[in-house]
Amino acid sequence: MFSTTDTADAISLASVQAAAQRINGFAHRTPVLTCHALETIAAGENGAPKRLFFKCENLQKVGAFKYRGALNAVKKYLQEKTEEGDTTFVTHSSGNHAQALALAARDADCKAVIVMPNNSPSVKQNAVRGYGAEGTVALELLEQVKKEFGVELDAILVPIGGAGLCSGVAMAAKSVQPSIKVFAVEPTGAADAYNSLQKRELMGHTGPVNTVADGLRTTLGDNNWPVVRDFVDEILLVSDDEIVSAMKLIWERMKLVVEPSGAVATAAVLAHKLPAGIANVGIVFSGGNVDLEKLPWTQKASA
């Protein structure tokens, strides 16, 4: 039996490249899309033009980037294991990671045991980390933007919760293109990563956690903190109103299903929270698992 809470290998460009080889042919190479309407809003009335490039991990298997990490963890363990017999993978998760491990284990012809709290969003219950694999999002994004659009990114914006995705993206992006800026985006109601970076020491939540972005309520991980500290340029905060507004615009203008946690990076851009002088911006849609019975704008309207 193998638990995905075991200590992970250190994140490095080599580990990201190795992960890319392991998951090739299984994980989707998700598209990079643009949206003129959102670019216009991001520029503002008198702002400099911005080009926004959206990496659509909401279109990944299980609807989230976490399939990459789960699949990498499964395949890496199977490559390295020495004992005989069947393998069962075990994890505890409130949603996307549970779905990801279940599918990754199935794709590897193994069993998985998933422990989920009974208050998980129903879409994540019904659909039921390998460090380094999340960085493949950045490698693909940089390559796709340069090949398909003929430009280099000035910055990447990525959600941050436990920081598996953020740390992988930041390390990989900076290793390939050292001049690029990496901005993590966090809800104001779950700002432990922001506080940690401000104080330059790992901190947990100092008060109640309250945000519509349920996937970002977790605390910043011990293993991910050094990477965030050393590779993330700044953490931007967005309110729940800004998150819901951005999410709704993505649904309306891009015709894409993105969950609140996946919309936080877009929220930061649309709220003009980026420093001046950044023109070409990569944005990661981290996931698209939404309970359609509880859309945040309908919940707000009925409150």
CA 129 – CA 188 distance, rounded (Å): 26
302 belongs to the catalytic site: no
* Helix (H) or strand (E) run with residue 90 in it: strand 88-92
Tokens found for residue 244: 């819901």
CA–CA distance, 121 with 161 (Å, rounded to integer): 17
b/e map of 107-136 (b: 16 or more CB within 10 Å)?
A: bbebebebebeeebbebbbebbbbbbbbbb
Name the nearest CA neighbour of 287 among 16, 41, 22, 62.
Answer: 62
Could you give the CA distance from residue 271 to residue 81 in angstroms, rounded to a whole number? 48
Please list the alpha-helical segments (H only) found in 89-224: 96-107, 122-126, 136-149, 164-176, 192-199
* 300 assigned to active site: no
Closest CA to 182 of 236, 247, 219, 259: 236
Residue 50 has which token pair?
A: 């911005």
**Closest listed residue to residue 53, CA positions, set 136, 135, 137, 176:** 137
Buried b / exposed e along 246-263 (16+ C-beta atoms within 10 A): bbebbbeebebbbbbbbb
Which listed residue (66, 75, 124, 181) is catalytic?
A: 66
300, two tokens: 């707000």
Q: Single out the residue of 184, 154, 151 nearest to residue 278, CA to CA.
A: 154
- Amino acid identity for residue 91 in this structure: T
Tell me how far CA of residue 174 lies from CA of 58, 64, 126, in angstroms: 24, 23, 37
**Per annotation, catalytic residue among 94, 120, 239, 248:** 94
- Residues with a catalytic annotation lie at 66, 94
